[in-house]
Amino acid sequence: MYTFKINDKEIKTTKNMSLLNFLRDEMQITSVKNGCSEGACGTCMVLLDKKAFRACLLTTEKINGKSIMTVEGIEEKERKIYEWAFAEAGAVQCGFCIPGMVISSKGLLDININPTENDIKKALRGNICRCTGYVKIIEAVMKVAKAIREGYEPDNSYTGKIGERTPRIDAQDKISGKAIYSEDLKIENLYYGGAVRTKYPRALVKKINTSKALETSGVESVYLASDIPGNRNIGHLSFISDWDALIAVGEITRYIGDAVALVLAKDKESLKRGIAAIEVEYEELQPLTSPKMSLEENAPKIHEKGNVLFSQKLSRGNVENALKSSKYVVTHTYKTPFTEHAYLEPESAIAVPTKHGVHLYTSSQSIYDEQREVSRLLGVDPSLVEVTSNYVGGGFGGKEDMSVQHHAALMAYLSKKNVQVTLSRQESINVSTKRHAMEIEMTTSCDENGILTGMKCNILSDTGAYSSLGGPVLQRACTHASGPYNYHN
Ligand code: FES
Ligand code: FES
Pair (335, 473) in one structural domain = yes
Tell me what the mean pLDDT of segment 181-192 comes to: 96
Pair (134, 13) in one structural domain = no
Alpha carbon distance 246, 244 (integer Å): 5
**413 within some domain:** no
pLDDT at 394: 95
Find the ligand nearest to 96 CA: 2
Tell me what the mean pLDDT of segment 404-419 comes to: 98
Alpha carbon distance 251, 200 (integer Å): 13
Pair (13, 65) in one structural domain = yes
Burial class (CB in 10 A: 0-12, 13-18, 19+), 425: middle
Tell me what the mean pLDDT of segment 420-435 comes to: 96
Pocket of ligand 1 (CB under 6 A): 34-37, 39-44, 54, 56
Ligand 2 proximity of 128 Cβ (cutoff 6 Å): no
What CATH number did the domain enclosing 164 receive?
1.10.150.120
Tell me what the mean pLDDT of segment 159-175 comes to: 87
Find the ligand nearest to 33 CA: 1
pLDDT at 156 over 70: yes
Q: Express each pLDDT in 471-487 by its tens digit.
A: 999 999 999 998 899 88
**46 within some domain:** yes
**144 within some domain:** yes
Pair (64, 104) in one structural domain = no
What CATH number did the domain enclosing 51 receive?
3.10.20.30
Backbone angles phi, psi at 281, to 5 degrees: -100, 125
Q: Express each pLDDT in 50-91 by its tens digit.
A: 999 999 999 999 999 999 999 999 999 999 999 999 999 999
- Percentage with pLDDT > 70 across the chain: 99
The residue out of 56, 72, 88 marking a domain boundary is 72
**44 within some domain:** yes
Ligand 2 proximity of 93 Cβ (cutoff 6 Å): yes
Kindly give the number of the ligand 2 atom that is closest to the alpha carbon of 97.
2
The residue out of 72, 103, 125 marking a domain boundary is 72
**447 within some domain:** yes
pLDDT at 163: 85
**41 within some domain:** yes
The residue out of 159, 179, 199 marking a domain boundary is 179
Find the ligand nearest to 95 CA: 2
Pair (49, 36) in one structural domain = yes
Confidence of residue 238 (pLDDT cuts 50, 70, 90): low
Pair (124, 12) in one structural domain = no
Give distance in angstroms: CA of 334 to centre of ligand 2: 31
**Could you tell me if 187 and 28 are in contact, meaning their C-beta atoms sit under 8 angstroms apart?**
no
Find the ligand nearest to 38 CA: 1
Give distance in angstroms: CA of 10 to centre of ligand 1: 24
Tell me what the mean pLDDT of segment 40-53 comes to: 97
Give distance in angstroms: CA of 74 to centre of ligand 2: 21
Tell me what the mean pLDDT of segment 21-45 comes to: 97
Confidence of residue 164 (pLDDT cuts 50, 70, 90): confident
Pair (78, 67) in one structural domain = no
**171 within some domain:** yes
pLDDT at 235 over 90: no
Query: What mean pLDDT, rounded, does the chain reach?
Result: 95
Give distance in angstroms: CA of 55 to centre of ligand 1: 7
pLDDT at 158 over 80: no
**467 within some domain:** yes
pLDDT at 35 over 70: yes
Q: Express each pLDDT in 105-142 by its tens digit.
A: 999 999 999 999 999 999 999 999 999 889 999 999 99
Give distance in angstroms: CA of 128 to centre of ligand 1: 10
Alpha carbon distance 418, 266 (integer Å): 10
Range of the domain at 45: 2-72
Pair (28, 90) in one structural domain = no
Confidence of residue 157 (pLDDT cuts 50, 70, 90): confident
Pair (99, 62) in one structural domain = no
pLDDT at 180: 96
Pair (82, 173) in one structural domain = yes
pLDDT at 239 over 70: no
β-strands 385-389, 418-422 pairing? unpaired
Using CA of residue 383, residue 385, residue 386, residue 389, what is the dihedral sign? negative
Give distance in angstroms: CA of 128 to centre of ligand 2: 8
pLDDT at 40: 96
Pair (10, 39) in one structural domain = yes
Pair (63, 125) in one structural domain = no
What CATH number did the domain enclosing 333 receive?
3.30.365.10
Q: What is the number of domains present in the chain?
A: 3
Tell me what the mean pLDDT of segment 161-187 comes to: 92
